[in-house]
Amino acid sequence: MDPEKPITYRGTIYPWHCDHMGHMNVMWYAGKFDEASWSLLASVGLTAAYLRDHGRGMVAAEQHVTYRKELVAGDTVFVRSFVNEVRDKAMVFTHEMVNAHTLEVAATARFVGVHIDRATRRACPLPPQVRAALQPLHLVPQERVT
């Protein structure tokens, strides 16, 4: 396993995640990537408590998903995540959803997450301690997800 891409989610594909064609529906990819996002954010200090206590939030300003391999009921998956870029008020990160049995990448998602002031609904700088925590994660060169 690549230590530069920490695992931010583990789960199983259930029958109710699948559509009438028998594979996992796109809404469930989005949900699993969302859970991985919150895990990644919490790991650098953007926890629910921090967001609540400081009147801050994180919003997905951009998202690009690529589906590579189908997942079906019974498959187990994990998501590994890495930071592509750290900006003053935002971060760019990528998730890879991997079939835990075959180790094939089933889907990737690239996000631009923006740190906001929840009262003004405007972007605001990432706190210094979060920027410091993000720097070691910014190890993987920026990759274009196509």
Residues 87-114 have pLDDT tens digits of 999 999 999 999 999 999 999 999 999 9
- Domain assignment present for 101: yes
Domain that holds residue 60: 7-137
Report pTM. 0.89
Dist CA 102 CA 106 (whole Å): 10
What is the token pair recorded at 112?
């631009």
Do the beta carbons of residue 67 and residue 107 sit within 8 Å?
A: yes
The radius of gyration of the chain's CA atoms, rounded to the nearest angstrom, is 16
How many structural domains is the chain composed of?
Answer: 1
Do the beta carbons of residue 130 and residue 45 sit within 8 Å?
A: yes
- Domain assignment present for 24: yes
Dist CA 110 CA 118 (whole Å): 24
- Domain assignment present for 85: yes
Higher confidence at residue 4 or residue 121?
A: 121
Average pLDDT over residues 68-91: 96
Write the CATH number for 86: 3.10.129.10
- Domain assignment present for 2: no
> Has residue 136 got a pLDDT over 90?
no
- Domain assignment present for 105: yes
User: What was the pLDDT predicted at 4?
Assistant: 65
> Has residue 61 got a pLDDT over 50?
yes
pLDDT in tens, 7-38: 999 999 999 999 999 999 999 999 999 999 99
Angle at 54 between CA 51 and CA 56, to 5 degrees: 50
pLDDT in tens, 121-134: 999 999 999 998 98
> Has residue 66 got a pLDDT over 90?
yes
Query: Could you identify the residue written with the tokens 């700088």?
Result: 125
Report the candidate in 65, 66, 63, 79 with the shortest Cα–Cα distance to residue 114.
63
